[in-house]
Amino acid sequence: MSERLLPTGKCFCGCGATTAIGSFFSRGHDKTAEAALLAVRYGSSVAQLLDHHGYGPTESVLDAAVTEGGWVICQHCTYAGAPASVRNHTRKYHEKAK
Residue ranges with strand state E in the chain = 72-73, 80-81
Asked if residue 74 and residue 30 are part of one domain, the reply reads no
The secondary structure of residue 95, as a DSSP letter, is I
pLDDT at 98 over 60: no
Asked if residue 45 and residue 19 are part of one domain, the reply reads yes
Mean pLDDT of 40-66: 98
Count how many domains the chain has. Answer: 2
Compute the mean pLDDT over every residue in the chain, rounded to the nearest whole number.
Answer: 96
Asked if residue 49 and residue 68 are part of one domain, the reply reads no
Asked if residue 51 and residue 26 are part of one domain, the reply reads yes
| Residue-range definition of the domain harbouring residue 35 | 1-57
Instruction: For residues 66 and 80, give the distance between their C-alpha atoms in angstroms, rounded to a whole number.
Output: 7
Q: Which of 5, 30, 4 is nearest to 17 (CA)?
A: 30
Q: What is the pLDDT of residue 97?
A: 56
Instruction: For residues 19 and 94, give the distance between their C-alpha atoms in angstroms, rounded to a whole number.
Output: 38
Asked if residue 42 and residue 15 are part of one domain, the reply reads yes
Q: Which of 66, 96, 60 is nearest to 83 (CA)?
A: 66
